[in-house]
C-alpha cells in the first residue's frame, strides 16, 4: 500500500460515511465483545438478521463491533441512520431487537425505554 | 399466488372521510404504470384504529406504517419503497416521543463524564474491517511517523506528552524508548504486554477485541522509534476472542502492506507475532514475560539488566502495555500538548478503569486522570445497588490495596493512589460494600499470590504462605491480637526482599486493610465475629423459639444432622456439630433462624 | 516412567503434531506454542506426548516437563469432552462465585477438578475471563456466560448438554 492509497481509503470510509454502501439507509451495530456475547449478543444478532429478512427490508446492514464499555447493560446495539443522531440501545435481547426493527428501523420511532445514549 | 408486498389501505369510515379512496385509486394507477400489479397486492381493510391520522396504510412484510396520505405521495412511495425497498420516511408514522428522545435523553451519566480516547473506536467500528479503522484516521499516525518524523522526534513527542505506562508501574514511555534506542545492537524487539493478569481488569481485552489495529499501529510506531523490526504480542490464553480478532487484524495489515517490508514505501520494515500465554499471573511481569516468550518457564529475573538493555534473547527490548500502545496514535496525530493538557501534574491523559463489584453500572470507564473515585463510583457507576453503604474500592488487583470511603474525594493518579497505600495497577476498580469482609478480601488476594508465586525466592514462596496461615487462623476465629503486628512485620520483610514485583507488592492488600480496617480484624479476633457475615466459621445460626413452627424443613436440610426437634415442636441447633453452612437459614420459610 | 518406544507414525494425531512442530521449529522459542497445539490435539499432555515433543524438537524431556508443570493451562490428566471453568477472579469472588461453583459441583456430582462419569464435563476454575462487568461468570469451552445465579448456572449446563448431545 502507498500513502495515497491510505488517503483514498480514509476518505472513502470517513466517520460520516459509515453507511458506506450508498444503498443502506440504516446500519445496526451489534456489540460483540466478550461481555456482549456473554450477555447474549449472538441471539440478538440472529434476531436482527431474521427479522430484517422476514420483513424483506433491503436497505439495512448489520455489522459487529467490540464493546462500548457499559457491561451491565449488554447486549448493546447502536442504530445509525443517515442524517440522524446515532441511538445506542442497552439490554437488547432478541425480543427487543425485533421491536427495534419494527418500530425504529421501519417506522422511525426509537424505543425510548432502551435508549442509553444519543450521539452525533 | 403470494405476492411480494401486501399493501393494506384503510377503508374505514374516518379514512374514507379524509379521502382515502383518492389516494388508493392513485396508488393503483402508479403501480400499474410501473408494471407491478403481479407483485403487489393492494387490499382495502376495515378501520385500523388511528383515525385521526388517516388516511393510513400498512405495507407488509416490512410493516411500514404510513399516515396522512395524499394522492400525490403515491408516486414516491411506489418508486422508493415498492421498487427499491426503502420506506419513505417523511410519510411514516412516528411516535410522539420519537423526536423527544433525541432531545431529552442525550446521555445517561455513564457516558457523560467519560472522555474517550483509547476506547473511541471500541463498540463503534467493525474490528474485522481494516477499512473502517482507516476511515477513523487509522494508520495515519504511523504514516506521519514514517514520512514526516525521525525516530528521535517521535521519542521526543512521546516524552513531552507525559505518557506513562498503563500496565501498572507508570514508567515514562518516552524515557523507556530512549534507553532502548540508545542501547547498542542492530536487533531490537518490541513486546506488547497483553497478559492482563489482574482478575478484575478487562480494558486490554476490550481494546484487542474492539480495536486491534490501534495496538498494531502503536507497536509499529514504537518499533520505528526504537529501531526494532520485530515484535511480539503476549496474550493470555483466557482471551480466545481477542486472539482471534488480533490474528485477523494482523493478516489484514500484512495483506495491505501496513506490516512487512518497506511499509508505505519507506525503508521501515516491521512484523509481529502472537504468543499465547498459559495461565501464569507472574508472566505479566516483564522479565517473566520475556522468559515465557522465549518458550521457558515464566520465571522473573533480577533487574538490572533492564529489558531496554538486555531483553528478549538478550537484545534490547521495549515492553509496553496494550493501553499504553493504543494511546500512541492519538499522541502522534493530535500532538503532545493536546495529551499533556489532560490529567494532573504528573499523570497525563486519560485512564481506562474496569468498574465492577457492587456497583450499579459495571464496565469500562475512560476518564481523565485526576477525577475522583466518588465521581467514578457514584456519577459514572450509578452508586451502590440496594442503597447499601460503600465500604471501600479495591484498586490495583493483587498488588494493590483497598481505599476506604473517607478517601473517595482524592483525585486519582499514580502518586495519590500510592500515597493511600494502593496502586493504579492496570486499572481494575472493584467496589466493596457493607456486605464484604475486608479480612476475607485480604485473604483472597493472598491466596491468589501464594498460588501464583513462581517459587524462586523464599520471601515470596515461604513468607506469603506464612501470612496466609495467620489470616486463615483469624478468619476461623483462632487469631491472637499479636498476629496483627506479626502480619505487618512479615509484610515489611517480604516487600523489601522479594525478587520481583509480585512478592514486592503481594502484601499490599493485607497492609492497606490493616491500615484502614483494623477494627474488622479485631472483631474477628476479640469477639470471634465477622461483622459482614462472610467468614463462615464465625457465623452462628440459632433458632428463634418464638418463630419456629416445628415444620422440620431445617432439620431435613442439615447435612450433619445438627438440628433436633419433634414435628410441630421447637427445634434446636447443636452448636458443637454445626458446620455453619447456612442450609437451614436458606430452608426456613418463617425467618426463625438467626444468623449472627 | 518415560516411554521411549517410538509411536507408530500412522497415528494421525502424532502426525498432525509433527507437522506443526516442523512449521514452528525455526521460529524463536516455540515450545509453549507447540504445547498449546499438542493439548488442542490430545486434550491433555501425558508423558508420551511430552516425550514425543522433546524428541521432535531435540530438547531434553526435562525441559518440556518443567514448562508443562509451570503453567496452569497445561494439563497432564485427561479431561471430559467439555470443560466448565468457573471464574474465581476478584469481581466474581465479590459477587458470590463460590456459590456458583458449589452448585455446579452438586449438580454434576463431582469435585472441583473432577470429570463426570460419562466424561462429558470437567469442572474447573479460572481467574478472570475479562467478563468482570457481568460477574459472576463461567466459561463452557470457549463461550462465556455472565450474570450468573445458581439457577442460571445449573440451567446453562443442562441446556448445553441437551443441545450438544442433539448434534
Ligand atoms: C506480578 C506482576 C504482574 C504484572 N502484570 C502485568 C499485566 O498483566 N499487564 C501489564 O501490562 N503489565 C503487567 N505488569 C507490569 C509489567 O511488568 C511492565 O511494567 C509493563 O508491562 C510495562 O508496560 P507499560 O510501561 O506500558 O506499563 C506486571 C508486573 C508485575 C510485577
Ligand atoms: S473476575 Fe471473573 S471475569 Fe473477571
Domain boundaries, chain A: 24-119
**Cβ B196 under 6 angstroms from ligand 1:** yes
pLDDT of residue B52: 74
Distance, CA B200 to ligand 2 centroid (Å)? 5
Predicted confidence (pLDDT) per residue in A66-110, tens digit:
999 999 999 999 999 877 788 999 999 999 999 999 989 988 888
Is there a contact between B241 and A37 if contact means CB atoms under 8 Å apart? yes
**Higher confidence at residue B58 or residue C135?**
C135
Ligand 2 atom 1, closest CA: C89
Mutating to test ligand 1, I would choose from B233, B288, B321 the residue with most ligand atoms within 8 A of its C-beta, which is B321
* Closest by Cβ to C133, choosing from B297, B363, B441: B363
Band of residue A119 on the pLDDT scale cut at 50, 70, 90: confident
pLDDT tens by residue, chain B, 596 residues: 567 888 888 877 778 888 888 898 899 999 999 988 888 888 888 777 777 777 888 888 888 888 888 888 999 999 888 888 888 888 887 665 455 555 555 456 788 889 999 999 999 899 999 999 999 999 999 999 999 999 999 999 999 999 999 998 899 999 999 999 999 999 999 999 999 999 999 999 999 999 999 999 999 999 999 999 999 999 999 999 999 999 999 999 999 999 999 999 999 999 999 999 999 999 999 999 999 999 999 999 998 999 999 999 999 999 999 999 999 999 999 999 999 999 999 999 999 999 999 999 999 999 999 999 999 999 999 999 998 999 999 999 999 999 999 999 999 999 999 999 999 999 999 999 999 999 999 999 999 999 999 999 999 999 999 999 999 999 999 999 999 999 999 999 999 999 999 999 999 999 999 999 999 999 999 999 999 999 999 999 999 999 999 999 999 989 899 999 999 999 999 999 998 888 899 889 999 999 98
Whole-angstrom distance, CA of residue B414 vs CA of residue B426: 11
Is there a contact between C133 and A71 if contact means CB atoms under 8 Å apart? yes
Shortest CA distance from A79: residue in chain B: B124
Predicted confidence (pLDDT) per residue in A28-55, tens digit:
999 999 999 999 999 999 999 999 999 8
Tell me the shortest Cα–Cα distance from A109 to chain B, in angstroms.
Answer: 5
**Cβ B286 under 6 angstroms from ligand 1:** yes
All residues of chain C having their beta carbon less than 8 Å from the beta carbon of residue B360 are none
Domains in chain B, start-ordered, CATH in brackets? 5-103 (3.40.30.10), 130-339 (3.40.50.11540), 350-433 (3.10.20.600), 438-526 (1.20.1440.230), 540-595 (3.30.70.20)
* Closest by Cβ to B239, choosing from C28, C32, C130: C130
pLDDT of residue A108: 83
Distance, CA C26 to ligand 2 centroid (Å)? 37
pLDDT of residue C3: 39
Ligand nearest, relative to CA of residue B501:
1
**Cβ B168 under 6 angstroms from ligand 1:** yes
**Cβ B324 under 6 angstroms from ligand 1:** yes
Ligand nearest, relative to CA of residue B171:
1
All residues of chain A having their beta carbon less than 8 Å from the beta carbon of residue C145 are 38
Neighbouring chains of A at 3+ CB pairs under 8 Å are B, C
pLDDT of residue A20: 54
* Prior bond of A91 cis (ω within 30°): no
All residues of chain C having their beta carbon less than 8 Å from the beta carbon of residue B432 are 94
All residues of chain B having their beta carbon less than 8 Å from the beta carbon of residue A87 are 101-102
Residue B85 C-beta-side C-alpha neighbours within 13 Å? 15
Q: Measured between CB atoms, does A108 come within 8 Å of chain B?
A: yes
**Cβ B317 under 6 angstroms from ligand 1:** no
Whats the size of chain B, residue-wise? 596
pLDDT of residue C2: 38
* 3-class secondary structure, B593: strand
Which amino acids bring their CB within 6 angstroms of ligand 2?
B 199-200; C 87, 89-92, 128-132, 135, 137
Whole-angstrom distance, CA of residue C53 vs CA of residue A94: 47
Class of domain C82-166 as given by CATH: alpha beta
pLDDT of residue A22: 59
Looking at chain A from residue 53 to 82, which residues have their Cβ under 8 Å from any Cβ of chain C?
70-72, 74
Tell me the shortest Cα–Cα distance from A71 to chain C, in angstroms.
Answer: 5
Task: Characterize C62-86 residue by residue with b for buried, 16 or more Cβ atoms within 10 angstroms of its Cβ, and e for exposed.
Answer: ebbbebbebbbbbbeeebbebbbbb
pLDDT of residue B263: 97
Report yes or no: B77 and B71 within 8 Å, Cβ to Cβ.
no
Report yes or no: C139 and C145 within 8 Å, Cβ to Cβ.
yes
* Closest by Cβ to C129, choosing from A34, A72, A74: A34
Distance, CA B417 to ligand 2 centroid (Å)? 23
Which sign, positive or negative, has the C-alpha torsion B583, B584, B590, B593? negative
All residues of chain C having their beta carbon less than 8 Å from the beta carbon of residue B275 are 32-33
* Closest by Cβ to B362, choosing from C27, C30, C133: C133
CATH topology of domain A24-119: Glutaredoxin (3.40.30)
Q: Which residues contact C133 (CB under 8 A, 6 or more apart)?
A: A35, A70, A71, A72, A74, B202, B354, B355, B356, B362, B363, B364, C91, C146
The maximal CA–CA distance of chain A, rounded, in angstroms, is 47
All residues of chain C having their beta carbon less than 8 Å from the beta carbon of residue A72 are 133-134
Whole-angstrom distance, CA of residue B194 vs CA of residue B204: 6
pLDDT of residue B99: 53
Is there a contact between B199 and C89 if contact means CB atoms under 8 Å apart? yes
**Cβ B453 under 6 angstroms from ligand 1:** no
List, in sequence order, every residue forming a beta bridge with A80; answer none if it has no partner: A27
Amino acid at each position: 500500500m502507498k500513502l495515497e492509497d491510505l488517503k483514498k481509503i480514509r476518505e472513502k470510509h470517513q466517520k460520516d460515511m459509515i453507511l458506506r454502501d450508498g444503498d443502506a439507509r440504516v446500519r445496526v451495530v451489534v456489540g460483540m465483545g466478550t461481555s456482549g456475547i456473554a450477555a447474549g449478543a449472538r441471539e440478538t444478532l440472529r434476531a436482527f438478521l431474521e427479522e430484517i429478512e422476514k420483513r424483506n427490508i433491503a436497505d439495512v446492514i448489520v455489522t459487529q463491533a467490540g464493546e462500548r464499555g457499559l457491561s451491565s447493560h449488554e447486549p448493546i446495539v447502536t442504530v445509525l441512520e443517515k442524517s440522524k443522531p446515532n441511538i445506542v440501545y442497552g439490554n437488547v435481547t432478541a425480543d427487543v431487537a425485533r421491536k427495534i426493527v419494527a418500530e425504529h428501523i421501519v417506522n422511525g420511532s426509537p424505543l425510548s425505554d432502551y435508549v442509553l445514549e444519543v450521539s452525533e | 399466488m403470494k405476492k411480494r408486498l401486501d399493501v393494506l389501505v384503510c377503508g374505514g369510515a374516518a379514512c374514507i372521510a379524509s379521502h382515502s379512496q383518492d389516494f388508493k385509486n392513485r396508488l393503483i394507477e402508479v403501480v400499474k404504470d410501473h408494471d407491478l400489479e403481479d407483485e403487489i397486492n393492494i387490499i382495502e381493510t376495515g378501520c385500523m384504529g388511528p383515525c385521526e391520522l388517516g388516511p393510513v396504510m400498512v405495507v407488509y412484510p416490512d410493516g411500514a406504517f404510513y399516515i396522512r396520505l395524499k394522492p400525490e405521495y403515491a408516486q414516491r412511495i411506489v418508486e422508493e419503497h415498492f421498487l427499491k425497498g426503502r420506506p419513505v420516511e417523511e410519510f411514516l408514522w412516528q411516535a410522539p416521543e420519537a423526536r423527544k428522545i433525541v432531545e431529552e435523553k442525550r446521555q445517561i451519566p455513564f457516558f457523560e463524564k467519560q472522555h474517550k480516547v483509547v476506547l473511541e473506536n471500541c463498540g463503534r467500528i467493525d474490528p474485522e474491517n481494516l477499512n473502517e479503522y482507516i476511515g477513523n484516521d487509522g494508520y495515519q499516525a504511523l504514516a506521519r511517523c514514517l514520512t514526516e518524523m525521525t525516530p528521535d522526534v517521535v521519542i521526543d513527542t512521546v516524552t513531552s506528552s507525559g505518557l506513562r505506562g498503563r500496565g501498572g508501574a507508570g514508567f515514562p514511555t518516552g524515557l523507556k524508548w530512549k534507553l532502548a534506542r540508545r542501547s547498542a545492537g542492530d536487533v531490537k524487539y518490541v513486546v506488547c504486554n497483553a497478559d492482563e493478569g489482574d482478575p478484575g481488569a478487562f480494558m486490554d481485552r476490550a481494546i484487542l477485541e474492539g480495536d486491534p489495529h490501534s495496538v498494531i499501529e502503536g507497536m509499529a510506531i514504537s518499533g520505528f522509534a526504537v529501531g526494532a523490526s520485530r515484535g511480539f504480542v503476549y496474550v493470555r490464553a483466557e482471551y480466545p476472542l481477542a486472539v482471534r480478532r488480533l490474528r485477523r487484524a494482523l493478516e489484514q495489515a500484512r495483506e495491505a502492506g501496513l506490516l512487512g517490508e518497506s511499509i508505505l514505501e519507506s525503508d521501515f520494515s516491521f512484523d509481529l507475532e502472537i504468543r499465547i500465554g498459559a495461565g501464569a499471573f507472574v508472566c505479566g511481569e516483564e522479565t517473566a514475560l520475556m522468559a515465557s516468550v522465549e518458550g521457558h518457564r515464566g520465571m522473573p529475573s533480577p533487574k538490572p539488566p533492564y529489558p531496554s538493555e538486555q531483553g528478549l534473547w538478550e537484545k534490547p527490548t521495549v515492553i509496553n502495555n496494550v493501553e499504553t500502545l493504543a494511546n500512541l496514535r492519538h499522541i502522534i496525530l493530535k500532538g503532545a500538548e493536546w495529551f499533556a493538557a489532560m490529567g494532573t501534574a504528573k499523570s497525563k491523559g486519560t485512564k481506562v478503569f474496569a468498574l465492577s463489584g457492587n456497583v450499579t453500572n459495571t464496565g469500562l470507564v475512560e476518564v481523565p486522570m485526576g477525577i475522583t473515585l466518588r465521581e467514578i463510583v457514584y456519577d459514572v457507576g450509578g452508586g451502590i445497588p440496594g442503597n447499601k453503604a460503600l465500604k471501600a474500592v479495591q484498586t490495583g488487583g493483587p498488588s494493590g490495596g483497598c481505599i476506604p470511603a473517607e478517601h473517595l474525594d482524592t483525585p486519582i493518579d499514580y502518586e495519590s493512589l500510592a500515597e493511600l497505600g494502593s496502586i493504579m495497577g492496570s486499572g481494575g476498580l472493584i467496589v466493596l460494600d457493607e456486605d464484604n469482609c475486608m479480612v476475607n478480601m485480604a485473604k483472597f488476594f493472598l491466596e491468589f499470590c501464594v498460588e501464583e508465586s513462581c517459587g524462586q525466592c523464599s520471601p515470596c514462596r515461604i513468607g506469603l504462605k506464612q501470612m496466609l496461615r495467620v489470616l486463615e487462623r483469624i478468619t476461623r476465629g483462632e487469631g491472637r491480637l499479636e498476629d496483627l503486628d506479626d502480619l505487618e512485620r512479615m509484610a515489611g520483610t517480604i516487600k523489601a526482599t522479594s525478587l520481583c514485583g509480585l512478592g514486592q507488592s503481594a502484601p499490599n492488600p493485607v497492609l492497606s486493610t490493616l491500615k484502614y480496617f483494623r477494627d474488622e480484624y479485631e472483631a474477628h479476633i476479640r469477639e470471634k465475629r465477622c461483622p459482614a457475615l462472610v467468614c463462615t466459621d464465625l457465623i452462628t445460626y440459632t433458632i428463634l423459639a418464638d418463630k419456629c413452627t416445628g415444620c422440620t424443613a431445617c432439620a431435613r436440610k442439615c447435612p450433619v444432622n445438627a438440628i433436633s426437634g419433634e414435628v410441630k415442636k421447637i427445634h434446636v441447633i447443636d452448636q458443637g456439630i454445626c458446620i455453619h453452612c447456612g442450609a437451614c437459614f436458606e430452608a426456613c420459610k418463617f425467618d426463625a433462624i438467626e444468623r449472627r | 516412567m518415560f516411554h521411549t518406544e517410538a509411536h507408530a507414525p500412522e497415528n494421525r494425531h502424532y502426525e498432525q503434531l509433527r507437522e506443526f512442530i516442523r512449521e514452528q521449529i525455526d521460529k524463536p522459542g516455540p515450545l509453549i506454542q507447540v504445547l498449546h497445539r499438542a493439548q488442542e490435539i490430545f486434550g491433555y499432555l501425558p508423558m508420551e506426548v511430552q516425550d514425543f515433543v522433546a524428541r521432535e524438537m531435540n530438547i531434553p524431556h526435562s525441559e518440556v516437563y518443567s514448562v508443562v508443570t509451570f503453567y496452569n493451562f497445561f494439563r497432564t490428566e485427561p479431561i471430559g469432552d467439555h470443560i466448565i471453568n468457573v471464574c474465581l477472579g476478584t469481581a466474581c469472588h465479590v459477587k458470590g462465585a463460590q456459590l456458583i461453583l458449589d452448585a455446579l459441583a452438586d449438580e454434576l456430582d463431582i469435585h472441583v477438578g473432577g470429570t463426570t462419569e460419562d466424561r462429558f464435563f470437567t469442572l474447573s476454575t479460572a481467574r478472570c475471563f475479562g467478563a468482570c462487568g457481568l460477574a459472576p461468570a463461567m466459561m463452557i469451552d470457549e463461550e462465556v456466560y455472565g450474570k450468573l445465579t445458581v439457577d442460571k448456572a445449573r440451567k446453562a449446563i443442562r441446556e448445553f448438554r441437551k443441545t450438544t448431545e442433539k448434534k
